[in-house]
A = this chain, B = another copy of it.
Amino acid sequence: MTDETIGFVGLGIMGAPMAKNLLDAGYTVVGHNRSQEPVDEHVAAGGEAAATPKEAAERADVVIMCLPDSDVVTEVMRADDGVLAGLSGGEIVVDNSTISPTVTEELAEEVRERGANMLDAPISGGETGAIEGTLSIMVGGDEGVLAEVRPILSAMGETVTHCGGNGAGQVTKACNQIVVAGSMVAISEALVFAHKADADLQAVVDAISGGAAGCWALDNRAPDMIRGDFDPGFFASYQYKDLRIATDAGEAYGSPMPQTELAHELYKAMEQTGRGMDDNSGVMQIIEDLAGTEARVDE
């Protein structure tokens, strides 16, 4: 079933390799991007070009968006030359962006009013996952609609999980970020403390990784953290934005999240101290600022 035409809006760091994987899978992909260069590269890779999101939607059976935030997605959907204006009925809009669950619920309703369907389908796995087609895709919306586009999503990601109705994909992505941030902050507090108490930081990491404290961040980030290597990875700025989505949604759904609110404040400090382009594990530096020390192994 690669005879569908896919409109792809947002050919950025994530979107461009995802569109490329769809081309490689044999789909016709009509790409649009605010700036022109990524569109030219998409065409050079065998894709087609659309001048506006509306045109991409008009020519497509399935419209994929991969955009930075709620405001941009809302603008790209609702503008006069936007996606909604290009829908004639029967299309499926798939939003791979990470945005507010409540905003995506509103947009899904507006898509339904046009006789089409929408899925929120935020992704995790980073640029590497986008390039290698190994993303994890968390989907909210109708299960039957997901079944129709599952082959398309499977061309971009390794794991495609249906998490509930419209918004549930974004809720799941927020849950992901809540847990990631909780572990980043915990590891930061632990390692700065261990350094102050004169323990061997690498030994601490080794000793606790195999048991109940074991986690991805301890395996994949802690060894770099204690060497002061905060190269991204996943930008602290993005984590900050994603935690704001989580805490705003916590407000909207009436779910208290004291630890996540605290993490949000610490990532706000990352932004304010000019460290937004560090990896999100770089939040250790905020704990270090508070402790008046740097927790580093001697090498």
Contact A213 B256 (CB under 8 A): no
Interface set, chain A 9-61, CB cutoff 8 A to B: none
A163 at the interface (CB under 8 A from B): yes
Interface set, chain A 190-230, CB cutoff 8 A to B: 190-194, 196-200, 203-204, 206-208, 210-218, 220
Please indicate the chain B residues that have their CB under 8 angstroms from the CB of A183 in the complex: 179, 182-183, 186, 213, 215
* Segment at the B interface, from A73-81, A84-92, A109-117, A169-177: A169-177
Please indicate the chain B residues that have their CB under 8 angstroms from the CB of A234 in the complex: 212
Chain B minimum-CB-distance residue to A280: B212
Give which listed residue, B194, B206, B290, contacts A171 with CB less than 8 A.
B194
Contact B203 A172 (CB under 8 A): yes
Contact B197 A186 (CB under 8 A): no
Interface range for A: 35 or more
A162 at the interface (CB under 8 A from B): yes
Please indicate the chain B residues that have their CB under 8 angstroms from the CB of A162 in the complex: 200, 203
Which of A204, A206, A290 has the largest number of chain B CB atoms within 10 A? A204
Q: A163-B200, A204-B175, A253-B193 are in contact. Are A186 and B125 (CB under 8 A)?
A: no
Q: A194-B175, A259-B259 are in contact. Are A161 and B203 (CB under 8 A)?
A: yes
Contact A192 B258 (CB under 8 A): no
A189 at the interface (CB under 8 A from B): yes
